Amino acid sequence: MRRFSFLVLITILGGSFTSAADRPNIVWVTSEDNGPHLGCYGDEYADTPRLDELASRSLRYRTCWSNAPVCAPARTTLISGMYATSLGGHHMRSEVRLPSAMKLYPAVLHDAGYFCTNNSKTDYNFVSGADDAGWDENGKQASFRNRPSPDTPFFSVFNFTISHESKIRNQPHTLVHDPADAPVPSYHPDVPEVRRDWAQYYDRLTEMDAMVGEVLDQLEEDGLTDSTIIFYYGDHGSGMPRSKRWPFNSGLHVPLIVHVPEKFQSLAPQNYLPGGVSNQLVSFVDCGPTAISLAGVEPPANMQGVPFAGPHAGEPKEYLFGYRGRMDERIDRVRSCTDGRFVYLRHFYPDRPYLKYIQYMFQTPTTRVWKEMFDAGQLNEVQAKVWKPKPLEELFDLQSDPDEVVNLAQDPAYHDQLTAMQMALKTWMIETRDLGVLPEAQFLQLAGDQSPREYGLSDEFVAEALVEAAWSATKAWETPDQATVALATGLLNEPHPGLRYWGARGLNLALQSRSDIQSDGGTTAICQTLADTLDDDDPAVAIAAAEALLIRGSDGQRRAAAQRLAFLANVKNTSHPVAIAALNVVDTHPTEMGVAMEKFGERFPVDVPDSPRRINKYVGNLMKHLLTQ
């Protein structure tokens, strides 16, 4: 346990409370891998009596986004009060450093006199993990009941894993919810395996609901109900495929219930009404600053979230934002936003399908049978979509299309809505200095001895130019005309490796998107330009160029590209992020790799004992999958 220092006068820290009795206790109860599939959210298949009762005397938020659709980046956002993309912590199981002076929200609350406990998941994408987060207690026994004095205000987190993705598929399990009645979304095939997984998911939510009830009972037993503000939320969308890991609304929309006892109604969110529903848009980046505000303290200036309760509550938001980076061993780059009704997604790897083989994800029966049915040609267009390349952008109307399967991006009737959300997302990427416009290995290399955030705030990180390059170059997927090809070619001459990367990506997409590109600049000329880029000293640039040459290059260019990829895919020659990126290309184009594939199993390490702790499986997962194909 950390040494606990109690500050009696919060006014010293800029707050408005003068004693412990004036300050609320705060409890966060969170469940893993579940969207708003609760009775209080109108789900008639759900059986969640304790949460439904809590909602009846609390405020329920209609739209709360987790910002990231998987645990580690979402929790990175929560603990920091910052978008994980601004910290470089948006990739699953990454380890990035934070600026030395930066405080996470538990440390701010601790310094304000709160006893801070976490029971028990951390899963932050930081090198230091939970050690420097600021918890007084962190572990399976951590509880507000361990506070040094009954008068000590506390902030306590209780995290329940029973609803996690892994619990959907574990056996034996006797189903309580009838699979015949399970609500199967239109993008999933309606087969017994899928119905069983959905039924088991709802069973787990019922078990989770009882666990939440135990925490509420503890507060009541200890006489703390009237002095404790309670948050309940899920940590991202459901663990079913195309929810978890994907920044659709289905992957980001989580339940959020906030209970404020009568004693602290002055701190309640705007328009608080017991049993009411709030249309205010909130997301995980706002939760830490909100807890700090409830404690009477002004959130640190570096935090990007906006408090939605307490004396420092800010103005309601017009949009919420989401992001996907590397998910385990699979690299993708997606950004999304919502205004509560419409959801907009921008894909920066449109050439890659939504779902690719991820060893952990394919343990779920739904994922396996879904892919098997696709391979057998047994799916309809909506169900088959996720196994195919993506459009450049998507726009969905949740009011008429809650499953997000009808893309309105090309519908002239929605042009103004599309334009507004494009601008909002692009502006957000620039203003928050989204490090995701650079490949993972690249921003880590460029940061050097700095933390990625410090690099992102420096003049060396040309945020506006990089975001503009990312948006403009990837238009080649849909419009590979002379202007787009010329823009991408020009980027290859830039000194910043990030701009050169987008140049190579743009030409890559142009070559893939049309067979008649000779009339728009010439395949031969483009391939020669990319061949000259194979030896770029930045591996990300070389990998993007090599992929294009594998697809459309001459025989000699293909051989050179395959050899370059084979070198970069071997972790002994490079780094784990570089090898993962190269292996993603190799696994997508094994036939085009030709003779370079012949001795992959002999020359390449499948198990790498000296791997960085949090990504130690991913090179091996890719190699094992590659060798089974």
Give me the residues paired with residue 396 across strands.
Answer: 343
**pLDDT score recorded for residue 514:** 66
**pLDDT score recorded for residue 12:** 35
SS (H, E, C) 269-319: CCCCCCCEEECCCEEHHHHHHHHHHHCCCCCCCCCCCCCCCCCCCCCCCCC
Q: Are 492 and 503 in contact (CB under 8 A)?
A: yes
- Write down the pTM of the prediction: 0.96
Greatest Cα pair distance, the chain, in angstroms, is: 77
CA distance 204 to 168: 7
**pLDDT score recorded for residue 17:** 58
The rounded average pLDDT for each run of 10 residues, N- to C-terminus, in the chain (629 residues) is 41 49 93 98 98 98 98 97 98 94 96 97 85 90 97 98 96 96 98 98 98 98 98 98 98 98 97 97 98 98 98 98 98 98 98 96 98 98 98 98 98 98 98 98 97 98 98 96 95 98 97 64 88 97 97 94 94 92 94 81 72 85 87
Q: Compute CA distances 362 → 31, 240, 382, 574, 629, whole Å.
A: 22, 11, 20, 28, 15
**pLDDT score recorded for residue 19:** 63
**pLDDT score recorded for residue 128:** 78
**pLDDT score recorded for residue 179:** 98
Residue positions annotated with a catalytic role: 71
Residue where the block lists tokens 């987060």: 133
**pLDDT score recorded for residue 130:** 59
Give me the residues paired with residue 525 across strands.
Answer: none
Q: Compute CA distances 240 → 211, 245, 331, 337, whole Å.
A: 22, 9, 19, 21
Q: Are 176 and 206 in contact (CB under 8 A)?
A: yes
Complete DSSP assignment for 485-522: HHHHHHHTT-SSHHHHHHHHHHHHHHHHH-TTGGGGT-
- Burial (CB count <10 Å: 0-12, 13-18, 19+), residue 594: middle
Write b or e for each residue in 468-485: b if 16 or more Cβ atoms lie within 10 A of its Cβ, otherwise e: bbbbbbbbbbbebbeebb
Give me the residues paired with residue 258 across strands.
Answer: 59, 231
SS (H, E, C) 403-437: CCCCCCCCCHHHHHHHHHHHHHHHHHHHHCCCHHH
Residue where the block lists tokens 């490796």: 497
- Burial (CB count <10 Å: 0-12, 13-18, 19+), residue 308: buried
